[in-house]
Chains A and B, each alone.
Chain A
Amino acid sequence: MKAAVVLFPGSNREGDVASAIKRISGKAANIVWHADSELPANTDLVVLPGGFSYGDYLRCGAIAARAPIMNAVRAHAERGGLVLGICNGFQILCEAQLLPGVLQRNAQLRFMCREVYLRVERSDTPYSRRYNAGDVLKIPVAHGEGNYTADDETIKRLEGDGRVLFRYVSPEGKLDPKWNHNGATNAIAGILSEKLNVLGLMPHPENHVDPMIGPTDGRGLFESINTVLEAA
């Protein structure tokens, strides 16, 4: 795996995701500056990390989506390369139109940091092959604007194409408004691009990889990526 973690001014989980990548793949990620115009040669995974890029001023992710490095990220995605956007990264991917839809303010209008339960909807993607469809993961969220929505047509297409990878569910794996903490449409927590190579999700799998700190349900996502890239 040769990962590039993009550092925008205001990113703040770049270290967490870089250390998760190192922990699982054994390989250090390159930290790439937002003002650069190219990714390091042979990059096979681009990560847009969590944080408040450009202060989230204007709209979450809107300014970052227009940063110089994003042309290279877009080209990488168009070539079929893997692009993972977590939290603010997901917001940036939506603003860059690499993924459809938007992330609105949480339904209860407050920032929320808590562990939530995610159901894995399919295992045949580069991000989930180390999970089984139907697995329930305990993963933390930390966001104020994670309420995913899109127009009816887009939601229908996402659902029809099986591009919803993670959903907020009860600990037993059932859809339940009580466990959809931010009010996302169809309890959507993470979605894939048409070619399944771009993933955006609000929760932070990178914060649940270390048994000394908490649950390790986030490991599977990085192990899946590593398996795919090492096999390539």
Chain B
Amino acid sequence: MNISNTVKITPELVAEHGLKPDEYERILKLIGREPSITELGIFSAMWNEHCSYKSSKVHLKTLPVTGPIVIQGPGENAGVIDIGDGLACVFKMESHNHPSFIEPYQGATTGVGGILRDVFTMGARPIACLNALRFGSPDHPRTRHLVSGVVAGIGGYGNSFGVPTVAGSVGFHSRYDGNILVNAMAVGIADADKIFYAKATGVGLPVVYLGSKTGRDGIHGATMASAEFGEGAEEKRPTVQVGDPFAEKLLLEACLEIMAKDCVVAIQDMGAAGLTCSAVEMGAKGDLGITLDLEKVPVREEAMTAYEMMLSESQERMLMVLKPGKEAEAEAIFKKWGLDFAIVGYTTDTLRFLIRHNGEEMADLPIKELGDQAPEYNRPFTESPKLPVLDAASVPAPTSLGDALGKLVGSPDLCSKRWVWEQYDHLILNNTVQRPGGDAAVVRVQDGPKALALCTDVTPRYCEADPFEGGKQAVAECWRNLTAVGSTPLAITDNLNFGNPERPEIMGQFVGCIRGIKEACLALNFPVVSGNVSLYNETQGRGILPTPTIGGVGLLKNFEQSATLAFKASGEAILLIGETRGHLGQSAYLATLFGREEGAPPPVDLTAEKRHGDFVRDLIAKGRVTAVHDCSDGGLLVALAEMAMASGIGAKLEAAPSGLPAHAFWFGEDQARYVLTVPAAAAPEIESAAKAAGIPALRLGVTAGEQLTLPGENPISVAELKQRHESWLPDYMAGNG
């Protein structure tokens, strides 16, 4: 079906474009006439939630985005931070939730492709990918299919593109049954003085289209990402794009080559809303108009209309403004890599976004207003009710600690994710110092000794129970994981996944999480430099758990000083840094063993968090600890089990301190805690250093043998734990779970 440009704009057509009646009124007022169908499509692309952040902007503005290391905060393709020696780290995380639910393999591939493009558009060579995935209940009939497709898709793109996928998180919960989360993060390295931006400068310069050809795929993808799913989600399949990692690899090499030759004034990738969004961004940011002649756009389908070309989300495409006289040089580079190169327009001083097709005007809109005058909502919100702190004594004890531990390490959320990360090439480029499975990945920068620590974190059940504490906790845990490998946490990217913002209680979750993130970022000196908001994650009126994924970057001056979580030798002292109150509300213990998600989540004391983390990082830097592990989901005994399973070495543990039920001590999820091992002789000195700094340090026992032994309990075989830990996911995926 061809939509001609003389279509009568009806209220139904406006609604089909995801625009509310008052938003359409705003358009009429802005341009003083009825829009053409192409113009309506352009407005719908620019003003949807995904591109305009209309519901979130007012709150996002409150996040701390500056700091001495910040070169570029939110608002560009990706965030940029200074990592010293003339180098910059460029990174961002973005969701591809809706497409991945409809078509898991292609949804995931294009999510990875999009975020990689965001990073190399800024002139950086990607060095690592990460992700955060949330699936529905393992019992849900679609879950296995979705896990299989998403994981294969993430691997399929990254492996072929040639960047290691080094870390991530995978979780399951019935609240994602109808709306999974696929958050992909990419990290790149660039020369700090050679960062490329979207802002165009100069009038009459050529606007160049690069990369793959334009087809009809993904038309209105961004509008879909801004709507709830109803029953007919399957019918949306034509709006899911298809990824081509091969084309993207060529695009990467060609773009970096063209940038090195100093040909580029401005560059913007064509992601959501394709040609429309990229052209408007370049013009609006540079206070310039853009004129495009669509007959020059390379297409792979016949008879494409202006409307279709402006809204296509075909992948692996870029838009550039070239320096004068550089056309031939740039074209030769693109032809060498076998990619399309076409001058499709030019910059003007009119501030108009003028679209022509075979000489006929199809759209003529004010370019600044397209972006700047998007509706902005301060939507009503209601705060989530505070839940009472659960009394540990009211939580049943397990039949035995060993039995509970086995169930936890073999549970869907805490089991080994080896089945997932073995499908990702995590070794390519030869710089992966710490592989998946630790607290954070460590990736060497160029030839070292500098390295980056990378991780993604969020605990959605905490965010549901208390958005403010949950938001704080997501940032704090990310900071803690980066610290646990010895790095100095530098900055984060956030991927805020929530339900329908038009519901006050969902908006309340969003606002609460943002406040928590803000408070933690300020306290930990950990700015937000990029991010993405994904709203309307609901199916048939049921929202997901609020899931503000935090992707963090830390810096190690020397990667040889990074710490790992595996026990290193028998006979070493095991120390716990941080205070244990036995907080069982919203714990994995309560949820996994008793199916209860109750009470307030553990509170996060950011002052303690910082003090404990700085203390541990200093010990690592001085080479005084042999193993370090963050204590989080599942609590202390799970942390110890993970250190044991990573090494095969067991531990002889002391009894829980009196005054706390044993299961609260061992499975409570109090924050700001780390487990360390140190040579036995060094333990007293470290304990007194902690005491002097006002930091709780508790001797838990000593590494020994091949079992975990606890007073009054049967010894727990590390090999058996490992068997349970490793087998759940492969068994489940094989259909035996």
Q: Are A12 and B162 in contact (CB under 8 A)?
A: yes
Flag if A15 contacts B429 (CB, 8 Å). Answer: yes
**A20, B428: Cα distance in complex, Å:** 13
Residues of A close to B427: CB separation below 8 A: 113, 140, 142, 204, 207
Near A by CB (< 8 A), chain B positions 232-246 give 244-246
Q: Decide if B444 touches A113 in the complex (CB within 8 Å).
A: no
Could you say which residues of chain B place their CB within 8 Å of the CB of A212?
433, 444, 448, 559-560
Q: Are B432 and A113 in contact (CB under 8 A)?
A: no
CB atoms of A142 and B428 under 8 A apart: yes
Residues of B contacting A210 in the complex (Cβ-Cβ under 8 angstroms): 430
A142 touches B425 (CB 8 A): yes
Beyond A13-B162, A51-B162, A114-B422, whether A213 also contacts B249 by CB under 8 A is no
Q: Does B152 contact A (CB under 8 A)?
A: yes
| Complex-state Cα separation, A206 to B559, whole angstroms | 21
Q: B161: nearest residue on chain A (CB-CB)?
A: A12
CA distance A10 to B249 in the complex (A): 6
Chain A residues within an 8 Å CB radius of B304: none
Which residue from B152, B162, B246, B432 sits with its C-beta under 8 Å from A111? B152
B84 contacts the other chain (CB 8 A): no
Q: Given contacts A110-B152, A111-B152, A113-B424, are A142 and B429 in contact (CB under 8 A)?
A: no
Proximity bits, B152-194, A CB within 8 Å = 1, else 0:
1001100111100000000000000000000000000000000
A31 to chain B, nearest CB (A): 12
**Do B428 and A111 have beta carbons less than 8 Å apart?**
no
Q: Is A112 an interface residue (CB 8 A)?
A: yes
Q: Is B324 an interface residue (CB 8 A)?
A: no
Contacts of B106 in A (CB 8 A): none
In the complex, are the beta carbons of B423 and A110 less than 8 A apart? yes
- Judge whether A12 and B160 touch: CB under 8 Å: yes
- Give chain A interface residues in 134-167, CB to chain B under 8 Å: 140, 142, 144
The verdict on A179 contacting chain B, using a C-beta distance below 8 Å, is no
Q: Are B246 and A57 in contact (CB under 8 A)?
A: yes
Q: Which residues of A contact B432 (CB under 8 A)?
A: 213
Min CB distance A186 to B, Å, is 24
Query: Please, how many residues of chain B have a CB less than 8 angstroms from a CB on the other chain?
Result: 32
Q: Is B24 an interface residue (CB 8 A)?
A: no
**Bound complex: CA A55 to CA B212 (Å):** 14
The residue from B156, B245, B249, B426 contacting A113, defined by CB atoms under 8 A apart = B426
- Best-buried of B161, B162, B424, B444 by chain A (most CB within 10 Å): B162
**Residue in B337, B423, B428 whose CB lies within 8 Å of A12:** B428
Contact yes or no, A213 B433, CB < 8 A: yes
Of A9, A15, A142, the residue contacting B337 (CB under 8 A) is A9
Closest to B148 in A: A110
Interchain CA distance A51-B152 in the complex, whole Å = 17
Annotate A85-122 by CB proximity to B: 1 below 8 A, 0 otherwise: 00000000000000000000000001111100000000
User: Nearest CB to that of B339 among chain A residues?
Assistant: A9
At the interface, yes or no: A16 with Cβ under 8 Å from chain B?
yes
Which residue of A is nearest B155, CB measured?
A: A111
Q: Are B430 and A213 in contact (CB under 8 A)?
A: yes
Alpha-carbon distance between A204 and B426 when the two chains are bound, in angstroms: 13
Q: Are A54 and B156 in contact (CB under 8 A)?
A: no
B250 at the interface (CB under 8 A from A): yes
A38 within 8 A of B: no
Chain A CB within 8 A of B684 CB: no
* Chain A: minimal CB distance from B648 (Å): 13
Write the chain B residue with the least CB distance to A23: B430
How many whole Å from B252's CB to the nearest CB in chain A?
10
Contact, CB under 8 Å: B246 / A113: no
A54 contact set on B, CB distance < 8 A: 246
Chain B residues with CB under 8 Å of A15's CB are 429
| Complex Cα gap A204–B428 (Å) | 9
B398: interface (CB < 8 Å): no
Q: Are B423 and A52 in contact (CB under 8 A)?
A: no
- In this assembly, does A125 line the interface, its C-beta being within 8 Å of a C-beta of chain B? no
Complex-state Cα separation, A54 to B337, whole angstroms: 11
Interface pair A113/B423, CB less than 8 Å apart = yes
User: Closest B-chain residue to A51, C-beta based?
Assistant: B162
B338 at the A interface (CB under 8 A): yes
- The residue in chain A whose Cβ has the minimal distance to the Cβ of B421 is A113
> Closest CB of chain B to A134's CB: distance in Å?
26
B717 contacts A by Cβ under 8 Å: no
Q: Which residues of A contact B423 (CB under 8 A)?
A: 110-113
A140 to B428, CA, bound (A): 10
Q: Determine if B278 is an interface residue (Cβ-Cβ < 8 Å).
A: no
What are the residues of chain A within 8 A of B109 when measuring CB–CB?
Answer: none
Chain A residues near B424 (CB-CB < 8 A): 111, 113
Q: In the complex, which residue of chain A has the Cβ closest to the Cβ of B247?
A: A55
Q: Which residues of B contact A13 (CB under 8 A)?
A: 162, 428
Measured between alpha carbons, how far is A144 from B247 in the docked complex, in Å? 19
Within 8 A of A (CB), among B337-351: 337-338
| Given A9-B250, A9-B337, A142-B425: A213 touches B431 (CB 8 Å cut-off) | yes
Q: Mark A163-207, 1 if CB is under 8 A from B, else 0.
A: 000000000000000000000000000000000000000001011
Q: In whole Å, how far is A149's beta carbon from the nearest beta carbon of chain B?
A: 22
Nearest B residue to A115 via CB reads: B427
Q: Quick check: A10 and B428 within 8 Å, CB to CB?
A: no
Q: Which of B246, B429, B433, B559 contacts A52 (CB 8 A)?
A: B246
CB of B162, distance to nearest CB on chain A (Å): 3
* Given known contacts A19-B430, A52-B160, A56-B160, A9 and B246 CB-to-CB distance under 8 angstroms: yes
Closest to A20 in B: B430
A55 touches B422 (CB 8 A): no
Known: A9-B337, A213-B432. A55 touches B426 (CB 8 A): no
Expressed in whole angstroms, the minimum distance between the Cβ of A89 and any Cβ of chain B is: 14
Q: What's the minimum C-beta distance from B334 to chain A, rounded to whole angstroms?
A: 12
* B425 neighbours in A (Cβ, 8 Å): 111, 113, 142
- Give Cα distance in the complex from A23 to B207, angstroms: 43
Q: Which of A16, A55, A110, A114 is the one whose CB lies under 8 Å from B428? A: A16
A18 to chain B, nearest CB (A): 11
Q: Report the minimal beta-carbon distance from A98 to chain B, rounded to whole angstroms.
A: 23
A16-B430, A110-B423, A213-B430 given; A142·B159 CB < 8 A? yes
Report the Cα distance A10→B245, complex, angstroms: 9
- B244: A residues at CB distance < 8 A: 55
Q: What residues of chain A lie closer than 8 Å to B159, measured between beta carbons?
A: 52, 111, 113, 142, 144
Contacts of A206 in B (CB 8 A): 430
Residues in chain B near residue A55, CB distance under 8 A = 160, 244-247
- Would A111 and B433 count as touching, CB distance under 8 A? no
* Shortest distance between the CB of B188 and any CB in chain A (Å): 15
Closest CB-CB distance, A230 to chain B, in whole Å?
Answer: 24
Please give me the residue from chain A that is nearest to B423 by CB atom.
A111
Q: Once the chains bind, are B338 and A113 in contact (CB under 8 Å)?
A: no
Q: Assess whether B250 is in contact with A207, with CB atoms less than 8 Å apart.
A: no
A33 to chain B, nearest CB (A): 8
What is the distance, in angstroms, from B135's C-beta to the closest C-beta of chain A? 17
Contact partners of A213 in chain B: CB under 8 A: 430-433, 444
Interface string of B456-488 (1 = CB under 8 A from A): 000000000000000000000000000000000
What A residues does B559 contact at CB under 8 A?
A: 212
CB of A69, distance to nearest CB on chain B (Å):
15
Question: What are 16 A-B contacts with C-beta separation under 8 Å?
Answer: A9-B246, A12-B161, A12-B162, A16-B429, A51-B162, A55-B247, A56-B160, A110-B152, A110-B423, A113-B421, A140-B427, A210-B430, A212-B433, A212-B444, A212-B560, A213-B431
Q: Knowing that A13-B162, A111-B424 are A-B contacts, what are 19 other residue pairs whose CB atoms are under 8 Å apart, sorted by A's residue number? A: A9-B337, A9-B338, A10-B160, A15-B429, A55-B160, A55-B247, A56-B246, A57-B246, A110-B152, A110-B422, A111-B152, A111-B425, A113-B423, A113-B424, A113-B427, A142-B159, A142-B425, A204-B427, A212-B444
Which A residues are within 8 Å of any B CB, using their own CB?
9-10, 12-13, 15-16, 19-20, 50-52, 54-57, 110-114, 140, 142, 144, 204, 206-207, 210, 212-213
Residues of B within 8 A of A (CB): 152, 155-156, 159-162, 244-247, 249-250, 337-338, 421-433, 444, 448, 559-560
Q: Which 10 A-B pairs have the closest CB atoms?
A: A12-B162, A55-B246, A52-B160, A142-B425, A113-B425, A111-B423, A10-B246, A16-B430, A111-B155, A207-B427
